[in-house]
């Protein structure tokens, strides 16, 4: 019989400290029972020092005080019941149903922290997922099993973009494979969550979606468990039930802020901008749960969304994320302000896994050439634009004027596309060729002669 | 069972804080001693001892540990088993083979699997070279095992042991633990020599003395071999923000450089990158041996989601393995991707120890740890009298891509080659995104003889000239950004044109292209030489007043941009043909102008 404790020594933010505790283990889950109402909050042991124990409480600690609660050590790690019935359901950040449905019962339980995947057991992801969005499919191709975040900023249409990807991506419908979506909302506004719910039901996939929701006004500490619960569900569906799972998670910035808040409550030595030194490892423990396995059919494709504070890509949150994920899709405010949707800033965007998933047999043999050339030419456009701001577009050389025209067309026709518009990869590549033909052939040094012969025709 | 063997005290866990735990009753433990922790027998290492209280960093997940569980000493520091079976294998940060772990648990890495190491059941075909009565000193070779198709493992007398051979086995099949040779030292004590030896990871293996490094590590990468060469036995750092190409560059070096042995440490990076290596390397053939490059490769994988203390150890595990092969007389190249993750592991452990932080939370001993690591590189005379070397190439992942942060700054102090990756080059997909203005190699001088003897008399001269041209271009581009290209005089515009060829046609090297991924030095030189040829031809024209626009023949320029793809690595005749094209074009052009001028003169004369 596990002991129960009545005395709380200290409450600091989301942490409580109790003393004279015996026989608890690191990571043990505790129930904090309100004596008056009987309501239960969950917490977890995060530090043991002799008989003193620090517990991180996942719900609000307001009102907690010595004497009004019972601390009960459960003898369990943080486990969640796993079942196919998770699909179509909505849970809070600690995995309790909030959709008035019944609790999930299952003999299978999984620790939400997961365990590191052995690199020997992984399979290198290689399959192209068509999202129907030209900028992504052509320039930062999404690969099944990839972790590819959207780096956004406040007020930018990252939710729309994520919803469009969920709606249009060929996750498995056509191939007869089973797919699912796991959606985690971390510290989001109610409106945002509603938007996603609406778009899932419009896409008729609500039955395939598992949702974990921590609203902006929900407790901070629950943000730590929300992504873990979601990824645990995703792992179960992908690797036990052979499904192709797309995990959409927003907003990772709220997650990191929660991490910082708890770290500072623990009085840890901060690294950059007050974020804890272990934030890289902590984020990696989440992101690395994506992928494919050699002897399992399913996959986890991971599309986290984060908002860059002040649109600053060097801020620790996007910075550490970029160091872990397999590329990034960056949204640009200037494009957004010019009403270009989706405002994908292509130059800093990157998909590290696309190299093996494009080309002959996957997309089309000219894909790599077109990608490289569009990047090179569009990056030249930036230089020419800077110059034209100084000397005026009139005084640009003939070639530079063509770059200006190419840049405008590229943004208006290639980047810009409707929220409901889906272009297949062939259409996108053809569009790329058409735009490149605005430039003199001599400027196109990334294209092979064979591809030029086959696809290039100069517009008059 | 372990308990009964050791009549030492047993520690009792008194505090747990992530990977750092404290124990009581540990006064008889030693600093840096390896211990097992708790019922699950997690592996750990003593990192602080204060009287009765010891602090242990645990190499496995600590969830589930309780106070009151035991800490058992092993009597030895964290050590590696060094022997045949390291090559072609992949290990975690404390040398446990991931393949064996997979047999225990198919997908995820569980904790509490204990210490595993290289295969001690496998029988190796062993040739004993020592004979009865031979006197063997430390580092001497007493036997040979063909470890892989290309690498012979030279069985060495471990450091600090010597004596006369009193027993030898016959040639045959043995495991790494079988006693092969017995020697008796001066004190009449016997020592058993086996294939495998143990060595503590944190202690550098001894050598006779350091030699000078006079030979480059030939990598097949133009920007490195020609512009910023790395000496065998030297040190290099590759700093760069995320996505700028550190891992790609390290992979390229692991694949193509002309070292005998590659030790590749994935330190706190992505699982998929290690998977990629396992899937790809066996299929790639080494240009030297013609055999799979995996035959010479040891992989260490402590991915970012694995326990952070083992990440700290992985660097030492890697370099100790490198020293082991160096001691056999091999040229070893070690890649560590990324040393920043190792530094962060130090920071995390230091934070949990509540040590006083220096810059950005890093411990004050960060610089000395970095220095100690890079100091384990070097070209040496081995104890056995051979020549071996370790080249260390460390990736650095600066926070925010800013090179003024502590890890980059301190690394810069201790390495001789600095290959600075540039975000803007990466954005423009100029790969490898090595910035030629910020990068440097401190080995140019000592390697210049080698280049003169082995590549071409004027190789370094040519390199300097082309680099200056790039510096010049940079200055001109700054001007262009203010006033446009049109106002530049023709000779400066010609420099811009040639610099563009150097950048696109030469410095950019496509790792995904079969012909371009690895380029022999001969072609590297010939390509650059031909660019110089074009440059000089153009200058002749400039002297005659021919404008750049006319000097630039689109067909020739195109050939230069594409020559890395179109000219096969093993047949450079295309470069001669290109020179012929250049001659033809410029001779004609120049002649036209001379004639024209002649005519003009005549005309003037007439008037
Ligand atoms: N030499 C090259 N040839 C072709 N592509 C390259 C080359 N170098 C880098 N790239 C491209 O850049 C991408 C990012 O490179 P890489 O993964 O090596 O970056 P990194 O610096 O290791 O990033 P991180 O710090 O996040 O690990 C690659 O996926 C590839 O698309
Ligand atoms: Mg990398």
DSSP per-residue letters across B300-334: EEE-TTS-HHHHHHHHHHHHHHHHHHHHTT-EEEE
The whole-number average pLDDT for the span B527-538 is 96
How much is the pLDDT for A419? 94
Please work out whether the CB of residue B397 comes within 6 Å of at least one atom of ligand 1.
Answer: yes
State both tokens at B583: 């001659």
Least confident of B384-393, B456-465, B486-495, B532-541: B486-495
Residue with tokens 């590290």: A352
pLDDT at B259: 96
Q: Which residues in chain A are contacts of B397 at CB distance < 8 A?
A: 323
pLDDT band of residue A175 (cuts 50, 70, 90) is low
Contact in structure between A198 and A183 (CB atoms under 8 Å): no
- Whole-number Å distance, alpha carbon B243 to ligand 2 midpoint, is 7
For residue A276, the 8-state DSSP code is B
Put simply, the answer to whether A281 touches B348 (Cβ < 8 Å) is: yes
Give per-residue pLDDT as tens, B420-459.
Answer: 999 999 998 999 999 999 999 999 999 999 999 999 999 9
Contacts of B360 in chain A (CB under 8 A): 271-272
Indicate yes or no: CB of B242 within 8 angstroms of CB of A390: no
Q: Which has the minimum average pLDDT: A81-95, A264-278, A403-417, B293-307?
A: A264-278
Residue B401 CB–ligand 1 contact under 6 Å: no
- Return d(Cα B403, Cα B421) in angstroms, integer: 10
Q: What is the pLDDT of residues A144-156, one digit of tens each?
A: 999 999 999 999 9
Angle of helix B521-543 versus helix B573-606 axis, rounded to 10: 0
Going from the Cα of B245 to the center of ligand 2, the distance in angstroms, rounded, reads: 7
pLDDT for B598 equals: 65
Checking if the pLDDT of B4 tops 80, the result is no
Distance, CA of A242 to CA of A236 (rounded, Å) = 9
pLDDT surpasses 50 at A460:
no
Cis bond upstream, residue A459 (ω within 30): no
Tokens encoding B555: 């067909």
Question: Quick check: B305 and A117 CB within 8 A?
Answer: yes
Which regions of A352-444 does DSSP assign to beta strands (E)? none
Read off the tokens for A137.
């499919």
Q: Are strands B11-17 and A350-351 parallel, antiparallel or unpaired?
A: unpaired
Q: Give the rounded percent of residues in chain B with a pLDDT score beyond 90.
A: 84
Q: Which of ligand 1's atoms lies nearest the C-alpha of B432? A: 1
What's the predicted TM-score (pTM) here?
A: 0.94
Average pLDDT, chain A: 92
Is B272 within 8 Å of A323 when comparing Cβ atoms? no
pLDDT of A192-214, one tens digit each?
Answer: 999 999 999 988 889 999 999 99
CA distance B21 to chain A (A): 9
Which sign does the torsion angle of CA B123, B127, B132, B134 carry? negative
Nearest to A171 by CA among A213, A198, A121, A132: A132
Other CB atoms within 10 A of residue B40 CB: 18
Q: Is A174's pLDDT higher than 70? A: no
Instruction: Flag the least confident range among B340-354, B495-509, B546-560, B593-607.
Output: B593-607
Collect all residues with Cβ–Cβ distance below 8 Å to B513 and sequence separation of at least 6: B564, B565
Averaged pLDDT for residues B191-197 = 96
Beta strands in A113-178 (DSSP E): 122-123, 128-129, 142-143, 150-152
Residue A288: which residues within 8 A CB-CB, separation 6 or more? A116, A117, A147, A324, B270, B271, B303, B304, B305
Using CB atoms within 10 Å of the CB of residue B358, give its burial: 0 to 12 exposed, 13 to 18 middle, 19+ buried: middle
pLDDT-derived band at A459 (thresholds 50, 70, 90) equals: low
Kindly list the residues from chain B whose CB atom is less than 8 angstroms away from the CB atom of residue A124: 272, 275-276, 279
Chain A hits for B347, CB-CB cut-off 8 Å, are 271, 277
Helices (H), strands (E): how many in chain A?
13, 21
Instruction: Name B312's Cβ contacts closer than 8 Å, sequence gap at least 6.
Output: B57, B93, B342, B345, B346, B349
User: CA of B197 to nearest chain A CA: how many angstroms apart?
Assistant: 27
pLDDT of residue B606: 44
Distance between alpha carbon B293 and the CA centroid of its chain, in Å? Answer: 15
**Residue B120: its pLDDT value, please?**
93
pLDDT of B601 reads 55
Distance B241 CA to ligand 2 centre (A): 9
Mean pLDDT of A35-46: 88
Give the nearest partner residue to B361 out of A271, A293, A390, using CB atoms: A271
Per-residue pLDDT band at A172 (split at 50, 70, 90)? low
**Interface contacts (A, B; CB < 8 Å):** 205
A320: distance to nearest CA of chain B, Å? Answer: 8
Q: Which residues of B touch A328 (CB under 8 A)?
A: 243
Q: Is the shortest distance between the CB of B247 and ligand 1 below 6 Å?
A: yes
Q: Region A320-342: what's the mean pLDDT? A: 96
Q: State how far the Cα of B528 lies from the Cα of A209, in Å rounded to an integer.
A: 57
Ligand nearest to the CA of B241: 1
Report whether residue A352 contacts ligand 1, using a CB cutoff of 6 Å.
yes
pLDDT tens-digit profile of A349-401? Answer: 999 999 989 999 889 999 999 999 999 999 999 999 998 988 889 988 899 99
Q: How far is A99 from chain B (nearest CA, A)?
A: 32
> How does residue B5 score in pLDDT terms, banded at 50, 70 and 90?
very low
Ligand 1 centroid – CA B512 distance (Å): 11
* For residue B355, pLDDT beyond 50: yes
Q: What is the pLDDT of residue A12?
A: 86
Q: Quick check: A116 and B109 CB within 8 A?
A: yes
| Sheet strand arrangement including B172-174 | B152-156, B141-146, B124-128, B172-174
| CB-based contact A375 B64, cutoff 8 Å | no
Is the pLDDT reported for residue A178 higher than 90?
no
Q: How far is the alpha carbon of A108 from chain B, nearest alpha carbon, in Å?
A: 17
Is cis: bond before A384, omega within 30 of 0?
A: no
- Whether B604 has a pLDDT exceeding 60, the answer reads no
Which residues, 6+ apart, have CB-to-CB distance to B30 below 8 Å?
Answer: B46, B49, B73, B77
Packing angle, helices A279-287 and A252-265, rounded to 10? 140
Interatomic CA distance for residues A393 and A391, integer angstroms: 7
Distance between CA atoms of residues B499 and A141, nearest Å = 32
pLDDT, position B352: 84
Q: Do B101 and A118 touch (CB under 8 A)?
A: yes
Distance A137 CA to ligand 1 centre (A): 19
Residue A78 has what pLDDT? 93
Task: Indicate the pLDDT class of residue B600, thresholds 50, 70 and 90.
Answer: low
Model confidence band, residue A457 (pLDDT cutoffs 50, 70, 90): confident
- Ligand 1 touching residue B427 (CB < 6 A): no
Q: Which residues neighbour ligand 2 (ion) by CB within 5 Å? A: B 246-247
Which of B228, B265, B261, B210 lies closest to B377 in space, CA to CA?
B210
Beta-bridge partners for A25 = B66
Q: How far is CA B4 from the centre of its chain?
A: 44
């Amino acid at each position: 019989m596990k002991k129960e404790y009545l005395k709380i020594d200290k409450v600091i933010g989301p942490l409580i400290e109790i003393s004279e505790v015996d026989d608890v283990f690191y990571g043990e889950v505790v129930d904090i029972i309100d004596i008056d109402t009987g309501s239960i909050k969950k917490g977890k042991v995060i530090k043991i020092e002799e008989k003193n124990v620090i517990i991180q409480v996942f719900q609000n600690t307001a009102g907690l005080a010595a004497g009004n609660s019972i601390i009960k050590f459960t003898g369990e790690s943080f486990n969640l019941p796993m079942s196919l019935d998770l699909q179509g359901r909505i849970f809070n950040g600690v995995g309790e149903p909030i959709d008035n449905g019944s609790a999930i019962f299952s003999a299978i339980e999984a620790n939400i922290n997961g365990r590191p995947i052995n690199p020997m057991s992984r399979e290198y992801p290689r399959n192209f997922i068509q999202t129907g969005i030209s900028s992504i499919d052509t320039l930062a191709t999404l690969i099944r099993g990839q972790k590819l975040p959207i780096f956004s900023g406040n007020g930018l249409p990252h939710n729309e973009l994520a919803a469009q990807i969920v709606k249009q991506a060929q996750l498995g419908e056509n191939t007869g494979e089973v797919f699912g979506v796991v959606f985690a909302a971390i510290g989001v506004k109610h409106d945002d969550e509603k938007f996603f719910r609406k778009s899932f039901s419009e896409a008729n996939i609500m039955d395939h979606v598992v949702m974990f929701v921590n609203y902006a006004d929900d407790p901070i500490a629950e943000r730590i468990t929300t992504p873990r619960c979601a990824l645990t569900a995703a792992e179960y569906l992908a690797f036990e039930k052979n499904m192709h799972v797309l995990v959409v998670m927003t907003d990772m910035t709220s997650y990191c802020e929660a991490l910082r808040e708890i770290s500072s409550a623990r009085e840890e030595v901060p690294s950059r901008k007050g974020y804890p030194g272990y934030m890289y490892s902590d984020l990696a423990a989440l992101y690395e749960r994506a992928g494919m396995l050699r002897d399992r059919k399913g996959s986890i494709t991971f599309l986290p969304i984060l908002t860059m504070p002040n649109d600053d890509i060097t801020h620790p949150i996007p910075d550490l994320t970029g160091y872990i994920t397999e590329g990034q899709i960056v949204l640009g405010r200037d494009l957004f302000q010019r009403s270009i949707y989706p405002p994908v800033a292509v130059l800093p965007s990157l998909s590290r896994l696309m190299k093996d998933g494009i080309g002959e047999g996957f997309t089309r043999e000219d894909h790599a050439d077109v990608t490289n050339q569009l990047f090179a030419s569009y990056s030249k456009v930036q230089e020419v634009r800077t110059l034209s701001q100084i000397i005026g577009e009139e005084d640009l050389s003939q070639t530079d004027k063509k770059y200006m025209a190419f840049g405008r067309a590229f943004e208006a026709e290639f980047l810009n596309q409707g929220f409901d518009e889906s272009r297949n990869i062939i259409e996108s590549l053809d569009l790329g060729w058409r735009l490149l033909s605005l430039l003199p052939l001599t400027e196109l040094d990334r294209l092979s002669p064979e591809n030029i012969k086959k696809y290039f025709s100069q517009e008059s | 069972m372990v308990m009964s063997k050791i009549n030492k005290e047993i520690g009792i866990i008194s505090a747990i804080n992530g990977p750092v735990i404290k124990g009581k009753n540990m006064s008889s433990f030693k600093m840096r001693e390896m211990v097992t922790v708790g019922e699950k027998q997690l592996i750990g290492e003593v990192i602080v001892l204060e009287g009765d209280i010891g602090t242990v960093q645990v190499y496995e997940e600590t969830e589930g540990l309780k106070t009151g569980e035991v800490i058992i000493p092993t009597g030895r520091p964290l050590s590696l088993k060094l022997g045949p079976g390291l090559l072609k294998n992949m290990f975690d940060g404390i040398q446990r083979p991931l393949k064996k772990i997979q047999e225990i648990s198919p997908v995820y890495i569980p904790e509490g699997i204990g210490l595993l190491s290289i295969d001690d059941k496998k029988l190796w075909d062993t040739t004993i070279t020592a004979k009865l009565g031979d006197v063997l000193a430390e580092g001497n070779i007493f036997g040979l095992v063909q470890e892989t198709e290309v690498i012979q493992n030279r069985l060495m007398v471990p450091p600090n042991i010597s004596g006369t051979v009193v027993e030898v086995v016959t040639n045959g099949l043995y495991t790494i633990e079988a006693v092969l040779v017995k020697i008796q030292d001066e004190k009449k004590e016997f020592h058993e020599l086996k294939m495998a030896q143990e060595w503590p990871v944190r202690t550098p293996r001894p050598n006779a003395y350091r030699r000078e490094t006079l030979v480059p590590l030939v990598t097949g990468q133009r920007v490195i071999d020609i512009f910023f060469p790395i000496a065998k036995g030297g040190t290099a750092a590759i700093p760069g923000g995320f996505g700028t190409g550190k891992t790609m560059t390290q992979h390229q070096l692991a694949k193509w450089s002309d070292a005998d042995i590659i030790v590749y440490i994935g330190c706190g990076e992505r699982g998929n990158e290690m998977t990629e290596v396992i899937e790809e390397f066996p299929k790639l053939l080494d240009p030297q041996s013609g055999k799979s490059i995996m035959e010479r490769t040891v992989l260490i994988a402590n991915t970012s989601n694995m326990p952070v203390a083992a990440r700290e150890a992985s660097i030492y595990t890697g370099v100790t393995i490198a020293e082991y092969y160096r001691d056999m007389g091999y040229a070893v190249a070690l890649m560590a991707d990324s040393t920043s993750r190792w530094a962060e592991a130090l920071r995390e452990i230091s934070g949990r120890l509540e040590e006083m932080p220096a810059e950005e939370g890093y411990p004050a001993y960060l610089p000395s740890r970095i220095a100690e690591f890079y100091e384990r590189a070097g070209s040496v005379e081995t104890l056995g009298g051979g020549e071996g070397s370790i080249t260390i190439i460390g990736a650095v992942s600066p926070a925010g891509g800013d090179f003024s942060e502590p890890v980059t700054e301190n690394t810069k102090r201790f390495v001789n080659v600095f290959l600075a990756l540039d975000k803007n080059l990466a954005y423009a997909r100029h790969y490898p995104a090595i910035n030629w203005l910020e990068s440097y190699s401190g080995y140019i001088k000592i390697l210049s003889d080698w280049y003169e003897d082995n590549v071409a008399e004027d190789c370094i001269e040519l390199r300097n000239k082309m680099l200056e041209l790039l510096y010049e271009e940079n200055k001109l581009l700054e001007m262009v950004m203010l006033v446009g290209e049109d106002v530049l005089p023709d000779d400066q515009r010609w420099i811009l044109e040639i610099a563009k060829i150097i950048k696109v046609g030469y410095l950019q090297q496509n790792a995904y292209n079969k012909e371009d991924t690895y380029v022999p030095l001969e072609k590297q030189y010939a390509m650059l030489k031909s660019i110089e040829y074009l440059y000089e031809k153009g200058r002749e024209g400039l002297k005659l007043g021919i404008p750049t626009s006319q000097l630039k023949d689109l067909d020739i320029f195109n050939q230069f941009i594409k020559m890395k793809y179109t000219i096969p690595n093993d047949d450079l005749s295309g470069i001669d043909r290109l020179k012929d094209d250049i001659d033809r074009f410029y001779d004609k052009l120049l002649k036209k102008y001379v004639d024209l001028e002649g005519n003009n003169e005549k005309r003037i004369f007439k008037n």
